Structure 1
Amino acid sequence: MNDLPIIGAQRQQQLQDAIALSKNMLETAERGDWEGIIELEKQRREGMMAGLKEPVAVEEAEGVNDSLQTLMQLNDQLTGMVQRARSETAQQFAALQNGRNAASAYQSVSKQR
């Protein structure tokens, strides 16, 4: 007998597709392709909505829960990557602003001489 949780074939495929898209989103984030992530997120959301549109039968609950737990873990990883990238971008922007301010101050002093 199979010890895997029972889940409808169509729902299982939709949730597995969402998991695959989530993994693809992580790879896309590693490349810094943020626009690509937006497109993949749209596809993932549509698949998840389709996979969860119908009520979950009692015998499917464990399998659906396992898939959703996996999706949540992948999403947490992605969220962490996005937050780190955002923080790095903010630091780069601040450094650029500091450089501009320093250049502006230097030019201002140079003009006074």
Structure 2
Amino acid sequence: MGDILSLSRAMVAAAEQGDWEAVTAQEQDRRGRIKRYFSQAPVVAASAGLTEAVHTLVALDQRVIELGKARRNQIVDTLRGLGQGSRAVRAYRQAGR
């Protein structure tokens, strides 16, 4: 579980830096590790901290999601601005005819 948590933390760090390609690659790697981890019954000693680890994973995932939403909103705002600029140019050209 430690390697899964490390990958999750790396995903947050990459998302904070805007490296969404790294986030995607790390998520693919992490998904495989999670699948392998939970395909076997956890050892009793390891299961004691499992609940806390899963809560940490969820919190890290929520942070990546928040950062993703913020980036999406930035892109949407940029596209809106481009659309407004394009309309302004068309209006200017039409007014000049």
Matches within 5 A, 1:88-107: 88-107=74-93
Query: With structure 1 as the length reference, what TM-score do the two structures score?
Result: 0.78
**Gap runs ≥5 in structure 2:** none
- After superposition, the CA RMSD in angstroms is 1.4
Does residue 51 of structure 2 align to residue 70 of structure 1?
A: no
**Gap runs ≥5 in structure 1:** 1-14
Please state how far the C-alpha of 1:58 moved relative to its aligned partner.
Answer: 5.1
Paired with 2:69 and 2:34, the residues of 1 have a C-alpha distance of: 24
Which position in structure 2 is the counterpart of 1:80? 66
Which position in structure 2 is the counterpart of 1:43? 29
Of 82-91 and 55-64, the range deviating more from structure 2: 55-64
Which position in structure 2 is the counterpart of 1:11? none
Paired with 1:59 and 1:19, the residues of 2 have a C-alpha distance of: 18
State percent identity of aligned pairs: 25
Query: With structure 2 as the length reference, what TM-score do the two structures score?
Result: 0.90
Q: Which amino acid counterpart does residue 98 of structure 1 have in structure 2?
A: Q
Point out the structure with max Rg over C-alpha. 1
Q: Which amino acid counterpart does residue 66 of structure 1 have in structure 2?
A: E
